[in-house]
Structure 1
């Protein structure tokens, strides 16, 4: 098996693991005091700054690094038989890499900034926090259009070239559509994309590890 394909398969499995870890963390362990006043909210953020920074680092920056490896591996696999589609898909994939990594950097720098500012002016700090949250969501947290386009085009290319597996490719088309539809700001659409991507990344990773390039 091509070493790059093996590495790409491992990267895909790590992507799935990061997604699962994020869902578990925010769904089970994260208890942000939504109904509290601003001072209490920032006290909570200050107490949990380290763990939240680590989660942001994993969820965005490390995720983006693994994603870059996967994009390159899949482009290498598809470029001979579908050069235009593969290159187009990879372009969106690498743009998504940049957006995701930038989101994590902004989230962590912003977290540190608002915690420092909250000691002087909690109201102003909350305004800044809302702006930072909006930017992070717009780049890579709540808007998954670019990622959806990558998965969609990649799946079309793989389907046309008979790479990967036909059921996986059709499922990828569905996942891609789910990501593209997140252009409409509804949390349920983002959750659908996230959950289906866990399945897609896992399935893709196993496929890349056990199959050879044609």
Structure 2
């Protein structure tokens, strides 16, 4: 098994872990004062700037770097048996990488900017903060269309290549479709996509680590051309 395939498997498992940590952090640890006034909200953000910056760095930038490794590993795995679909899926995978990393960078730079601005004008800082949040959510925080397209196309390529378990193929189709449907602003769709990605990444990572890619079959004409 190639080093890239092993790296892709580790990357997939790591992304599942990042998803779990993000759910735990925002579901059980992060206690943002939603009903407080602007001054109190920014005081809370200032007190927790370091931890929130680390979380943003992990779930966006590091996630995006790991995703790049996985996208390339899966392209290598499928390109021999499903070249066209694999190439199209890889395009969307790379675009998703860029969007996710950009989201994290904007979130962290924006966090520092609004905390500094809030000292002089909390209300204006809140307007800027809401704008930054909208940009982050639009790029990749709450809109999973590009990621959904990648998973959907990748799962379709996997069906044609017959590289992964059939159950994983069809589960990927479901998760990909759910991601595309997040174009409609409903939290439940984003949550289903996120939870589904935990299972999908974990399952995919294990398969990539324990099952080597199938060898592409060459035609008899191709074999004869090498002999003669």
TM range (shorter): over 0.9
Spell out the pairing of 1:1-214 with structure 2 (5 A cutoff): 1-214=1-214
- Rounded to whole Å, the distance in 2 between the matches of 1:2 and 1:108 is 36
Identify unmatched segments of 5+ residues in structure 1.
Answer: none
Aligned to 2:218: none
Indicate if the aligned counterparts of 1:175 and 1:193 stay in contact, CA closer than 8 A. yes
Q: Deviations over 1:43-64 (max 9, x none)?
A: 0000000000000000000000
- Rounded to whole Å, the distance in 2 between the matches of 1:4 and 1:117 is 45
How much has 1:144 moved relative to structure 2?
0.2
How much has 1:142 moved relative to structure 2?
0.3
Indicate if the aligned counterparts of 1:2 and 1:213 stay in contact, CA closer than 8 A. no
Indicate if the aligned counterparts of 1:172 and 1:200 stay in contact, CA closer than 8 A. yes
- Structure 1 segments, 4+ long, off by >4 Å, are none
How much has 1:80 moved relative to structure 2?
1.1
SS in structure 1 of the partner of residue 87 of structure 2: helix
How much has 1:81 moved relative to structure 2?
1.1
- Rounded to whole Å, the distance in 2 between the matches of 1:64 and 1:161 is 26
Query: Larger Rg: 1 or 2?
Result: 2
How much has 1:153 moved relative to structure 2?
0.3
SS in structure 1 of the partner of residue 81 of structure 2: coil
SS in structure 1 of the partner of residue 182 of structure 2: helix
How much has 1:83 moved relative to structure 2?
0.9
- Rounded to whole Å, the distance in 2 between the matches of 1:11 and 1:115 is 33
Aligned length: 214
- Rounded to whole Å, the distance in 1 between the matches of 2:187 and 2:79 is 35
TM-score calculated relative to the size of structure 1: 0.99
SS in structure 2 of the partner of residue 137 of structure 1: helix
Q: Deviations over 1:155-209 (max 9, x none)?
A: 0000111001111111000000010000001111100000000000000000000
